[in-house]
Amino acid sequence: MRLDKFLKVSRLIKRRTVAKDVSEQGRVWINGREAKPSSTVKVGDELTIQFGQKTVTVRVERLAETTRKDEAAGLYTLLREEFRREGEEEGQ
């Protein structure tokens, strides 16, 4: 499944166009590698997404073409959620 579609279906990002933009900006990684919107996501992959001051890492548990809102969180497991303080450099 395409990365941008997974991010939308899982509701990690609400709109596919926003998921595409975030990926193109270099703010999404699959298994530690920078990912493009068209990158393939497989079960077991670790996705890291940077949302401003917050970085979220999840493991893909299941793929689905569509999902209801109450089922979306079942597509992944939250592994880490980190917050960067203002003025703190990335990677520190």
39 neighbors 20 (Cβ within 8 angstroms) = no
Ranges of each domain in the chain:
3-83
Q: Which residue has the higher pLDDT, 89 or 83?
A: 83
23 neighbors 3 (Cβ within 8 angstroms) = yes
Q: How confident is the model at residue 86 (pLDDT cuts 50, 70, 90)?
A: low
Q: pTM of the full predicted structure?
A: 0.87
59 vs 71: CA distance, rounded Å: 16
pLDDT at residue 89 tops 90: no
Superfamily covering domain 3-83: RNA-binding S4 domain (3.10.290.10)
* pLDDT per residue as tens digits for the range 23-46: 999 999 999 999 999 999 999 999
Residue identified by tokens 């990912």 is: 35
Angle at 57 between CA 51 and CA 58, to 5 degrees: 120
Name the amino acid, one letter, at 13. I
